[in-house]
Amino acid sequence: MTRILALSGSLRKGSYNTALLRAAQGLMPDGAELIEGSIAGIPLYNGDEEEEHGLPETVVELKEQIAAANGLLLVTPEYNNSIPGVFKNAIDWTTRPSSDIGRVYGGRPVALMGATLGGFGTLLSQDAWLSVLRTLGTRPWFEGRLHVARAHKVFDDSGAMTDEDMKKRLKDFMAGFVSFADNCIASSSQ
């Protein structure tokens, strides 16, 4: 079973990105599972706090979820044409101590997708993540991108995806990423 960990970069209860993540859970290919992780409860990074108290339990849990997954899916909002601070902060915490980056991220397949009310999807946020993912030594999946623009027309008030074309695109996106993750696993075990 291929296990993909998905993280929504929004803390908002009615987040379109969390709705996108949950829609993806129902569209996974056979033999694959999408697990919803969370960045909730992760405090702002402070090196003094880390030195005095170590890693918060929420960070330790998230690090272990990432390390145990066959792939990581970042479902990113776009704030001011870039990465949301709360999402970047959570990922920054998971890189502590820096000697653990290879275990958590090294060679890990990663995909990006996102939803927004605007007309360009989350193109700029997804692009901004690439330098971070490169620094962490991940294996970004470049063959697929999913930008959900005008999300208020794609999801209903309960967060269910109602756009059939987008459902097909999301299903194809997830199948492509799972195949990429499976190929990465196969090539690393040779």
Write the pLDDT tens digit of every residue in 34-54.
999 999 999 999 999 999 999
Q: Residue 47: give the domain boundaries.
A: 2-188
- Residue of 170, 126, 134, 153 whose CA lies nearest to 29: 170
109 upstream amide cis, omega within 30 of 0: no
Looking at the structure of the chain, the number of domains it has is 1
Q: Which residue bears the tokens 């959570």? A: 90
Exposed, middle or buried by CB within 10 Å (0-12, 13-18, 19+), for 166? buried
The CA distance from 101 to 50, in Å, is: 16
Asked whether 164 and 87 are in contact (CB, 8 A), the reply is: no
- Residue-wise pLDDT for 9-22, tens only, equals 999 999 999 999 99
Question: Is pLDDT of 26 > 70?
Answer: yes
Q: pLDDT band for position 186 (50/70/90)?
A: confident
Give residues with Cβ within 8 angstroms of 98, minimum separation 6: none
Q: pLDDT band for position 155 (50/70/90)?
A: very high
Q: Give me the mean pLDDT over the 27-40 stretch.
A: 98
Q: Give me the mean pLDDT over the 141-169 stretch.
A: 96
Q: What is the pLDDT, as a whole number, of residue 166?
A: 97
Residue % of the chain over a pLDDT of 70 = 99
Question: Is pLDDT of 130 > 80?
Answer: yes
3 state SS of 112: strand
The CA distance from 93 to 105, in Å, is: 13
Q: Hey, what are 111's tokens?
A: 């995909």
Q: pLDDT band for position 71 (50/70/90)?
A: very high
Give residues with Cβ within 8 angstroms of 106, minimum separation 6: 136, 137, 138
Q: What is the pLDDT, as a whole number, of residue 190?
A: 65
Task: Give the alpha-carbon dihedral of 134, 136, 140, 145, to 10 degrees.
Answer: -80
Asked whether 92 and 99 are in contact (CB, 8 A), the reply is: no
- The whole-chain average pLDDT of the chain stands at 96
The CA distance from 15 to 40, in Å, is: 13
pTM: 0.97
CATH number at residue 169: 3.40.50.360
Q: What is the pLDDT, as a whole number, of residue 125?
A: 97
Cross-strand bridge partners of residue 91: none
